């Protein structure tokens, strides 16, 4: 005679509840041959379910040995036992345990996901599930969800699911317990027919003797022991049907264990499909969970873009100032800026500039300017602008480039030539877009001057001042012919329209010409900026005869330091923005974790069921992880789209460059995936760590 399908030798199962040992099974020995139809009866608490769990490889016996198809399954590891459940065993439960909001055919096909030998293609799986449903007489209802089926129909879907992998043994624990009498008999007839016509070995637990009468052997249990094991002389007759042979002959368990698993690719697809299905069943919740990551990623990308835009703007500003520059302004530097009042005069002169140029070793170039607001005129156009009398080296030192024509040279300055270089805004105001200004004669404070060049645009300062609203003329020309002698007694207020000065005790004792509004010093290198500041201060204090302890009547400002400060503060700002956005991403991740934890609790029975039909722990872990990552990545991608759109909108509407950084996009994507893995791992591990029997019993 061939190997029995089941051989139990002195099997016991003891639960430890506190200090008490509950002997759910004591010394059970049992043999079931292939093709048998066995009913297990007994009072509630007699150990029937415990026995079924042991037989179904869901639980391990505390003592004794269990051979399934000749294999000592107690020795097998978790993956092998899962594979046996998947391919050799079918489970039917009292409470059906179908996945809610999932069609009958999808429920039936579920075990194929976890079967190593299952068909690879989705269509083949669907075909097989359809055939199993037909066998159970549910061909018409394959698209109905459990909620749309009667109890009997649901149980038949569950039986079809148990049969899908052509198991050698079907275990049914009180399959009729939730059904009315008539439906109970239908289900039993179905099981009997599967046994008679398709050779499926069936073990069914029941309370009722008329249900047990379908089987050809009845085992009775009491207090964890088998008290009787009787052949049923006259099993209830079941009319034969013509549909025999739909289930293939049983394979051997050894074959099932030896068979290799799916390829990694198919495995991955299956996990993602299961995760998608789960997310799809809870659309609203999934969408809301994604929202956190969505907002986080969108904010991250937009904030980085805004921060970089600001950074970029500051850097442009700094570049337009010139490098290693120090500016000397008349008037003392106090806490609140330049101090001064009406009636004060400039304290700086050309001779100061020349002295610094001659005496300071750290300074490689010196330029200076005088300026005043005044009117320019061309034809019938007139425009009030800033008129600057500059030393010829001032424009190159401060990064003013000539766009067309030429700049002011030394000869122009020496001869006080009536030439002018105009800024872009002045060109636009006086000449419009079409007229070429080079060579034209314009009036600068009523002095006719020839336009020799146009300055390239520098744009606005961070404070919104238009830097291009300017005309430049040679310093000597300005002093002698246009702005007049910059005598403190006559033009002090005008001269200092931009930097009000403190009262100058030397105003009347120094000579009346050669006053300047700004002196620019270029340090030889970045390292000599500080020495240049110190030397210029010393030289000017000496020349202005300022006593030790008294305030300077000028101020020296390190422009590159201001630039660096501005740059680093804008960088800090950008970092802060990104950090705040990252925090919202983390909050989104916590949202995912939270929802998954709820989901694990809510789906405890589903997890138990998945394990019963063959899912390994790693399958469950990966499925929940996949759900988390899918949630976060979908949210992340939507966030990237939103963030990019937002950045573009800022660029367009605010006119502020908000460059989209590829780094931020890639970072946002990777970050969201990482958030999914990080925050999904804990719930996923919790799900995978569940005990299958306890999960199935969970209410
Ligand atoms: P039946 O299915 O015949 O009603 P069970 O096999 O479910 O009985 O239970 C057999 C005995 O084991 C009962 O006394 C029950 O209280 C006990 N039992 C079952 N599962 C557990 C468990 N997880 N922890 C403690 N005791 C348990
Ligand atoms: Mg039970």
Residue closest to 599 by CA, chosen among 679, 517, 656: 679
Tell me, in angstroms, the distance from the centre of ligand 2 to residue 103's CA: 28
Residue 153 in tokens? 């129909």
Tell me, in angstroms, the distance from the centre of ligand 1 to residue 47's CA: 6
Query: How many Cβ atoms are within 10 Å of 292's Cβ, its own excluded?
Result: 25
Residue ranges of domains in the chain: 281-315+564-696, 332-552
Q: How many CA atoms are closer than 13 Å to the CA of 480, on its beta-carbon side?
A: 10
500 pLDDT tier (thresholds 50, 70, 90): very low
* C-alpha angle 40-42-47 in degrees, rounded to nearest 5: 85
Q: Quick one: what percent of the chain has pLDDT higher than 90? A: 45
* The pLDDT value given to residue 579: 86
Q: Quick one: what percent of the chain has pLDDT higher than 70? A: 89
Q: How many CA atoms are closer than 13 Å to the CA of 56, on its beta-carbon side?
A: 29
Say whether 479 sits in a helix, a strand or coil: helix
Contact 389, 479 (CB under 8 A): yes
pLDDT in tens, 346-368: 678 888 999 999 999 999 999 99
Ligand 1 atom 21, closest CA: 15
pLDDT for residue 246 is more than 80 = no
Ligand 1 atom 7, closest CA: 49
Tell me, in angstroms, the distance from the centre of ligand 2 to residue 224's CA: 12
Contacts of 358 by beta carbon, 8 Å cutoff, 6+ apart: none
Pocket test for ligand 1, best of 12, 22, 41 (most atoms within 8 A of CB): 22
pLDDT in tens, 590-607: 988 999 999 999 999 999
Q: How many CA atoms are closer than 13 Å to the CA of 520, on its beta-carbon side?
A: 23
Which secondary structure element, helix H or strand E, spans residue 119, and what is its range? none
* C-alpha angle 82-699-112 in degrees, rounded to nearest 5: 30
pTM, 2 dp: 0.70
Pocket test for ligand 1, best of 16, 50, 51 (most atoms within 8 A of CB): 50
Contacts of 660 by beta carbon, 8 Å cutoff, 6+ apart: 301, 305, 643, 644, 647, 648
For β-strands 225-231 and 348-349, DSSP reports them as unpaired
- DSSP assignment of 382-440 equals EEEEEEEEE-TTHHHHTTPPEEEE----HHHHHTT--EEEE-HHHHHHHHTTTS--TT-
pLDDT in tens, 294-314: 998 898 888 888 888 888 877
Contacts of 408 by beta carbon, 8 Å cutoff, 6+ apart: 390, 392, 395, 419, 421, 452, 453, 472, 473, 474
Residue 555 in tokens? 């101020």
Q: How many CA atoms are closer than 13 Å to the CA of 11, on its beta-carbon side?
A: 29
pLDDT for residue 536 is more than 80 = yes
Tell me, in angstroms, the distance from the centre of ligand 2 to residue 203's CA: 14
pLDDT for residue 19 is more than 70 = yes
Contact 86, 165 (CB under 8 A): yes
Pocket around ligand 1: residues whose beta carbon is below 6 Å from it?
15, 17, 22, 24, 42, 44-50
Say whether 55 sits in a helix, a strand or coil: helix
pLDDT, average across residues 187-216: 90
Contacts of 299 by beta carbon, 8 Å cutoff, 6+ apart: 580, 581, 584, 585, 639, 643
Tell me the sheet residues that pair with 14. 23
Residue 295 in tokens? 């907002």
* The pLDDT value given to residue 546: 87
Tell me, in angstroms, the distance from the centre of ligand 1 to residue 29's CA: 19
């Amino acid at each position: 005679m061939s190997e029995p399908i089941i051989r139990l030798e002195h099997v016991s199962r003891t639960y430890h509840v506190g200090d008490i040992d509950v002997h759910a099974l004591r010394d059970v020995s049992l043999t079931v041959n292939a093709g048998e139809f066995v009913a297990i009866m007994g009072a509630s608490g007699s150990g029937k379910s415990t026995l079924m769990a042991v037989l179904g490889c869901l639980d391990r016996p505390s003592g004794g040995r269990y051979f399934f198809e000749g294999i000592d399954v107690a020795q097998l590891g978790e993956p092998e036992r899962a594979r046996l459940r998947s391919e050799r065993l079918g489970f039917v439960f009292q409470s059906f345990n179908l996945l809610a909001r999932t069609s009958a055919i999808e429920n039936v096909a579920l075990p194929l996901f976890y079967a190593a030998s299952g068909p690879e293609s989705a269509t083949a799986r669907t075909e097989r599930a359809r055939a199993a449903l037909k066998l159970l007489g549910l061909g018409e209802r394959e698209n109905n969800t459990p909620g749309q089926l009667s109890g009997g129909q649901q149980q038949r879907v569950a039986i079809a699911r148990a049969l899908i992998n052509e198991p050698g043994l079907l275990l049914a624990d009180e399959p009729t317990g939730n059904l009315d009498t008539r439906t109970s008999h239908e289900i039993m007839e179905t099981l009997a027919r599967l046994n008679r016509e398709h050779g499926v070995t069936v073990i069914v637990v029941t309370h009722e003797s008329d249900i047990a009468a379908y089987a050809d052997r009845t085992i009775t249990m009491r207090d964890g022991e088998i008290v009787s094991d009787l052949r049923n002389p006259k099993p209830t007759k079941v009319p034969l049907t013509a549909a025999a042979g739909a289930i293939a002959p049983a394979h051997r368990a050894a074959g099932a264990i030896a068979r290799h698993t799916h390829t990694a690719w198919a495995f991955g697809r299956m996990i993602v499909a299961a995760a998608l299905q789960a997310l799809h069943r809870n659309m609203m919740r999934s969408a809301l969970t994604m929202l956190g990551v969505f907002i986080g990623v969108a904010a991250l990308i937009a904030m980085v873009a805004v921060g970089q835009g600001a950074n970029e703007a500051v850097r442009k500003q700094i570049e337009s100032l010139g490098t290693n520059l120090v500016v000397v302004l008349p008037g003392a530097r106090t806490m609140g800026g330049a101090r001064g009042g009406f009636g004060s005069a400039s304290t700086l002169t050309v001779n100061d500039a020349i002295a610094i140029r001659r005496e300071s070793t750290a300074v490689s170039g010196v330029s200076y300017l005088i300026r005043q607001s005044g009117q320019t005129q061309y034809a019938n156009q007139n425009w009030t602008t800033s008129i600057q009398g500059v030393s010829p080296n001032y424009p190159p030192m401060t990064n003013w480039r000539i766009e067309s024509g030429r700049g002011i040279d030394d000869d122009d300055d020496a001869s006080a030539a009536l030439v002018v270089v105009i800024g872009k805004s002045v060109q636009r105001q006086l000449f419009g877009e079409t007229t070429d200004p080079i060579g034209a004669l314009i009036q600068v404070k009523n002095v006719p001057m020839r336009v020799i060049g146009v300055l390239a645009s520098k744009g606005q300062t961070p404070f919104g001042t238009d830097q291009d609203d300017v005309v430049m003329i040679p310093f000597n020309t300005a002093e002698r012919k246009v702005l007049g002698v910059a005598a403190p007694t006559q033009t002090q207020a005008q001269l200092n329209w931009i930097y009000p000065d403190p009262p100058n005790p030397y105003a009347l004792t120094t000579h009346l010409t050669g006053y300047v509004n700004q002196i620019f010093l270029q340090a030889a290198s970045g390292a000599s900026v500080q020495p240049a500041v110190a030397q210029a201060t010393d030289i000017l204090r000496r020349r202005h005869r300022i006593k030790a302890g008294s305030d300077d009547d000028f101020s020296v400002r390190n422009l590159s330091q201001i630039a660096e400060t501005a740059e680093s503060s804008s960088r800090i700002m950008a970092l802060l923005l990104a950090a705040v956005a990252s925090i919202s991403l983390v909050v989104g991740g916590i949202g995912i974790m939270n929802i998954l934890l709820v989901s694990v609790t809510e789906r405890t029975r589903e997890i138990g069921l998945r394990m019963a039909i063959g899912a390994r722990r790693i399958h469950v872990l990966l499925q929940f992880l996949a759900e988390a990552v899918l949630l976060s990545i979908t949210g992340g991608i939507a966030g990237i789209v939103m963030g990019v759109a937002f950045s573009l909108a800022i660029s367009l509407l605010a006119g502020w460059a908000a460059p989209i950084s590829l780094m931020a996009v890639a970072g946002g994507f990777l970050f969201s995936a990482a958030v999914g893995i990080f925050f999904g791992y804990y719930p996923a591990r919790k799900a995978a760590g569940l005990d299958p029997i306890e999960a199935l019993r969970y209410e």
